[in-house]
């Protein structure tokens, strides 16, 4: 993140001879120095993915001209690509209920510049965290929800997403199930975090259920949302060992920590264009 002239070219296409060359040769011809590159060819689906960071060696880099010229090369490979400028801060809306640990963590990383995001608004179905948002100078929208008002409430949520120009929605322990309609609108640009325990514990107090079963690991999963509850394409996961000496409150505390770390990592991977959606899975080029 320290390189102030670091461009990111992310692309995918059908697997064909010359897919790496079309990227690297074009960059060389435009006198752009590659600082990091990852690629993956999925032999099962016949799909190729590539992410390249580069810096122009000459002044006056023209993004529009670069994109237009590269599009001509990419057409031959049926290659879809995205060019991200240095210093881009992705506009974000965060959704939260009452638990504040993930929100606090994201706000701290945002405040110190660790995450290249621009938090435009916080949306909640409870008023509890309004003061936290106010302290950070971020608009807070309290939209209460009941089964009868769910469509109306989600309409107000969507209005905030559109009005703020949010490119990413982060569900930082938002304890409501999104409708199929809202999931479809947010497909590929909404990240959720939830606990990952084996066996899976659903319902109230999952960490207390885990304690009763004597689990030896607690964990968390960050994933894109879809219409299947907590079963969207996984971005990243984290685990933490526990033992018989850990009581329910200890499991809760460790669970909170791993949820924060896992969510922050997933957000960073997404905004740095390191995640490619691939059917029901993801291709993730980690740091």
Task: Work out the burial of residue 179: count CB atoms within 10 Å of its CB; fewer than 13 is exposed, 13-18 middle, 19 or more buried.
Answer: middle
Residue 238, pLDDT > 50, answer yes
Specify the pairing of strand 140-142 against strand 117-124. parallel
DSSP-assigned beta bridge partners for residue 52: 9, 37
Sign of CA dihedral 230, 190, 272, 82: positive
- Pick 196 or 162 by higher pLDDT: 162
Q: Which domains does the chain have, with CATH numbers?
A: 7-84 (3.30.70.260), 90-284 (3.40.50.170)
Distance of CA 253 to the CA centre of its chain: 23
Query: Cβ contacts of residue 110 below 8 Å, gap of 6+?
Result: 117, 119
pLDDT at 236 over 60: yes
Strands 47-56 and 32-42: antiparallel
Question: Could you tell me which residues are beta bridge partners of residue 37?
Answer: 52
Which residues does 2 contact at the CB level (< 8 Å), separation at least 6? none
What does the radius of gyration of the chain's CA atoms come to, in whole angstroms? 21
Q: Give catalytic status of residue 230 as yes or no.
A: yes
* Confidence (pLDDT) at 104: 97
pLDDT interval class at 127 (50, 70, 90) = very high
233-247 mean pLDDT: 93
Rounded to whole angstroms, what are the CA distances from 241 to 25, 208, 245, 258? Answer: 47, 16, 11, 11
Over 80: is that where the pLDDT of 116 sits? yes
> Residue 98: what pLDDT?
96
Whole-number pLDDT of residue 203: 74
Q: To 5 degrees, how large is the angle CA 8–CA 10–CA 11? A: 155
Residue range 32-87, pLDDT digits in tens? 999 999 999 999 999 999 999 999 999 999 999 999 999 999 999 999 999 999 99
DSSP letter, residue 232: S
Asked if pLDDT for residue 3 goes beyond 80, the answer is: no
Whether the pLDDT of residue 1 is over 80: the answer is no
What is the tens place of the pLDDT at every residue in 132-175? 999 999 999 999 999 999 999 999 999 999 999 999 999 999 99
Nearest to 9 by CA among 43, 32, 42, 41: 32
Query: What's the confidence (pLDDT) of residue 205?
Result: 86
Instruction: Give the C-alpha separation, 149 to 178, whole Å.
Output: 13
The rounded distance, in Å, linking the Cα atoms of 131 and 139 is 10
Residue labelled with tokens 């299947």: 228
Three-class secondary structure of residue 218 per DSSP: strand
Question: For the purposes of burial, counting CB atoms within 10 Å of the CB of 34, is it exposed (0-12), middle (13-18) or buried (19 or more)?
Answer: middle
Cβ atoms 32, 25 nearer than 8 A:
no
Distance CA 31, CA 56 (A): 6
The first and second tokens of residue 276, run together, are: 């490619």
Whole-model pTM over 0.85: yes
Nearest by Cα to 193 from 172, 177, 207: 172
Q: Are 140 and 100 in contact (CB under 8 A)?
A: no
* Active-site residue, from 118, 128, 227, 230: 230
> Can you give the pLDDT at residue 198?
61
Residues 144-156 pLDDT 10s: 999 999 999 999 9
Confidence bin at 199 (pLDDT 50/70/90): low
Residue 17, judged by CB atoms within 10 A of its CB (0-12, 13-18, 19+), counts as: exposed
Q: Is the pLDDT of residue 260 over 80?
A: yes
Q: What is the tens place of the pLDDT at every residue in 262-286?
A: 999 999 999 999 999 998 899 999 9
């Amino acid at each position: 993140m320290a390189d102030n002239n670091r461009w990111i070219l992310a692309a995918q296409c059908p697997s064909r001879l010359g897919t790496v060359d079309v990227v690297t040769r074009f960059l060389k011809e435009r006198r752009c120095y590659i600082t990091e590159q990852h690629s993956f060819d999925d032999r099962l689906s016949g799909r190729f993915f590539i992410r390249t960071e580069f810096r122009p060696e000459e002044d006056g880099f023209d993004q529009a001209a670069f994109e237009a010229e590269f599009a001509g090369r990419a057409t031959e490979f049926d290659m879809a690509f995205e060019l991200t400028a240095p210093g881009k801060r992705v506009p974000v809306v965060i959704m939260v209920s009452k638990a504040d640990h993930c929100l606090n963590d994201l706000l701290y990383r945002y405040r110190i510049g660790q995450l290249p995001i621009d938090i435009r608004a916080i949306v909640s179905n409870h008023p509890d965290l309004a003061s936290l948002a106010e302290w950070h100078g971020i608009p807070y929208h309290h939209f209460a929800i009941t089964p009868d008002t769910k469509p109306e409430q989600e309409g107000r949520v969507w209005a905030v997403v559109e009005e703020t120009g949010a490119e990413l929605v982060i569900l930082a322990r938002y304890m409501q199930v999104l409708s199929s309609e809202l999931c479809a609108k947010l497909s590929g640009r909404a990240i959720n975090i939830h606990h990952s325990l084996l066996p899976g514990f659903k319902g109230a107090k999952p960490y207390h259920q885990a304690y009763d079963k004597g689990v030896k690991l607690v964990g968390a999963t960050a994933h894109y949302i879809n219409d299947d509850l907590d079963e969207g394409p996984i971005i990243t996961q984290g685990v933490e060992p526990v033992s018989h000496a850990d009581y329910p409150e200890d499991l809760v505390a460790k669970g909170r920590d791993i949820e924060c770390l896992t969510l922050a990592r997933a957000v960073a991977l997404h905004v740095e264009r390191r995640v490619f959606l691939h059917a029901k899975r993801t291709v993730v080029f980690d740091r």
